[in-house]
Amino acid sequence: MLKVRVIPSLLWKGVGLVKGIGFDSSRRVGSVLPAVKVYNSRDVDELVLVDITATSEARHPDDASVSEFAEHCFVPLAVGGGVRELSDIVRLLRAGADKVVVNTAAYELPELVSQAARKFGAQCIVASVDVRTMNGGYTCMSHCGTRDSGRCPVSWARELEARGVGEILLTSIDRDGTMMGYDLALIESVTKAVNIPVIASGGAGSYQHMVDAVQLAGASAVAAASLFHFTEQTPAGAKVAMRAAGIPVRSSLPSALPS
Amino acid sequence: MTVAIVDYGMGNLASVRRAIEGLGGRVEIAKHPQELATADRVVLPGVGAFGEASARLRESGWADALKDEILLGTKPLLGICLGMQLLAVEGEEDGVHPGLGLVAGRVCRIDKLGCRLRVPHVGWNAVSHRDDDPLFESIPTLMDFYFVHSYAFQVDDRDAEVATVTYGTVLAAAVHKGRVFGTQFHPEKSSRAGRQVLENFLAYPSC
């Protein structure tokens, strides 16, 4: 039986890792490479690494740095930020990413997603969807949460699925960094609308939040950043709690991993 | 022990290379079939779509070279993920395309094989394997391995299907026929159990 994944997410800005609330990336929380090494040594299910300023700085993904991080990463790795062309995806995959995360480009260049899925296979392409509540409803935001795309999450998720995306990384901007729980209504509306895996993101503050995202909202995986950066809680602890709640999760075996 | 990793322009070679080097193997990234000559083992990785992979293998001469190696040579071959699927006779992704035909069967979308769950199959899932297969030596059954695929190999040669995984329906997780091995999961991303699979492949004797 397929296990539910617990996925630490790392937000990469310039030379370091950041985290904030509501996408304000206000705090530095260290450097990327040490974080990758730590999560690798803890044998996490998967890791997401997003370069959050690549799009606003009109930069292509820094595949050289990704290559360096990937040298130390033996767990499945999804990388995003600034992906705008097929060549960006090729370079990230060659650098060591197992999956590539696309956000802004999907709104501006919808054909990119279809072409990428055809060329690399749906399973390589993760669409990151950032959502804010606005005027009583949900709106998808591009450019690291700064621009209103005019799309609503359910119809956008369906369109992404139709274009061939493999998974959706669904983030609530409002809940991001608050540690007050995922936006279950948002997650459920999307998991019910599509038949591709949805990764819940934004707001995890406790293991119970993760259990709820899976059991109440249908998420296939749960991502978290603040929870792991700022509290004593860990991916392994999350899985113990999820197992106790009856959710199938992988045991992380202690092992001597290459570093 | 030199392992040639076939570079046909599709895939994440870096992870496979690092995993094999971590086990003490020497790796050569082989762009051209001639480079097989100095290798003891061959790995065919693959990330992407069957149709494109099939075309690239044929156009580059790799398809013939790999078939010749298995027919006439001595080196064991391991196909990973799309690489395992390419061992089939044909694949249905985006039209029907020929595979290497090294293991009987065809590659179909997993919903066509009876899976009613979310597609792609992404994440860690338990692999049930035959007791005596060398690829799974020292690995307890029902260990989790990492899968990420929308298509699977429907193996016709029952003896060649040495491991399965359940995702809505039973899917082939690994094949083994003679010197040809394949894993649908990514051993280089599957933690300790995955590394053991790679180690077992490296330990399999050439003929």
pLDDT tens-digit profile of B113-168? 999 999 999 999 999 999 899 999 999 989 999 999 999 999 999 999 999 999 99
Residue B96: pLDDT band by 50, 70, 90 thresholds? very high
Q: Does B129 touch chain A (CB under 8 A)?
A: no
Inter-chain CB pairs, A–B, below 8 Å: 116
Residues of B in contact with A190 (CB under 8 A): none
A62 φ/ψ angles, rounded to the nearest 5 degrees:
-85, 80
Q: Does B169 touch chain A (CB under 8 A)?
A: no
Torsion of CA B206, B82, A33, A64, to 10 degrees: 100
Is the distance from CB of B189 to CB of A74 less than 8 angstroms? yes
pLDDT digits (tens, 9 = 90+) for A50-64: 988 888 888 888 888
Q: What is the pLDDT of residue A255?
A: 44
User: What whole-number percentage of chain A has pLDDT above 90?
Assistant: 66
pLDDT digits (tens, 9 = 90+) for B37-52: 999 999 999 888 898 8
Q: By three-state DSSP, how is residue A71 classified? A: coil
B72 to chain A, closest Cα gap in Å: 32
- The enclosing H or E element of A63 equals helix A63-70
Query: Of residues B69, B93, B188, B199, which has the active-site annotation?
Result: B188
Is the distance from CB of A76 to CB of A94 less than 8 angstroms? no
The answer to whether the Cβ–Cβ distance between B48 and A96 falls below 8 Å is no
Strand order in the sheet with B105-109: B97-98, B90-91, B105-109, B151-155
- The enclosing H or E element of A112 equals helix A110-120
The answer to whether the Cβ–Cβ distance between A94 and B121 falls below 8 Å is no
Q: What is the pLDDT of residue A96?
A: 87
Q: What is the pLDDT of residue A254?
A: 46
The answer to whether the Cβ–Cβ distance between A250 and B52 falls below 8 Å is no
Angle at B137 (CA atoms; ends B132, B139), nearest 5 degrees: 110
Nearest chain A residue to B193 by CA: give it. Answer: A253
- Cα maximum dimension of chain A: 52
| Of A27 and A50, the one with more pLDDT | A50
pLDDT digits (tens, 9 = 90+) for A159-181: 999 999 999 999 999 999 999 99
Of A57-61, A106-110, B102-106, the one with minimum mean pLDDT is A57-61
Quick one: average pLDDT of A228-233? 86
| Active site annotation includes B81 | yes
Q: Residue B18: which of B198, B205, B181 has the closest Cα?
A: B198
Quickly count: other Cβ atoms within 10 Å of residue B68's Cβ.
Answer: 12
Q: What is the pLDDT of residue B46?
A: 85
Nearest chain B residue to A43 by CA: give it. Answer: B191
Assess whether pLDDT exceeds 90 at residue B173: yes
| Active site annotation includes B115 | no
Is the distance from CB of B35 to CB of B2 less than 8 angstroms? no
Assess whether pLDDT exceeds 50 at residue A14: yes
Q: Residue A196: which of A137, A249, A117, A141 has the closest Cα?
A: A117
Q: What is the pLDDT of residue A259?
A: 37
Facing residue for A96 by CB, picked from B12, B149, B192:
B12
The answer to whether the Cβ–Cβ distance between B52 and A93 falls below 8 Å is no
Residues of chain B numbered 8-47 and touching chain A (CB < 8 Å): 10-15, 18-19, 22, 47
The answer to whether the Cβ–Cβ distance between B117 and A2 falls below 8 Å is yes
Residues of chain B numbered 59-88 and touching chain A (CB < 8 Å): 82
Q: Residue A132: which of A142, A124, A122 has the closest Cα?
A: A142
Residues of B in contact with A99 (CB under 8 A): 148
Residue A118: pLDDT band by 50, 70, 90 thresholds? confident
pLDDT digits (tens, 9 = 90+) for A136-154: 899 999 999 999 999 999 9
CA atoms within 13 A on the CB side of A1: 8
**CA B126/CA B130 separation, integer angstroms:** 13
Assess whether pLDDT exceeds 80 at residue A15: no
Quickly count: other Cβ atoms within 10 Å of residue B38's Cβ.
Answer: 11
Residue A253: pLDDT band by 50, 70, 90 thresholds? low
| Of A208 and A117, the one with more pLDDT | A208
Q: By three-state DSSP, how is residue A239 classified? A: helix
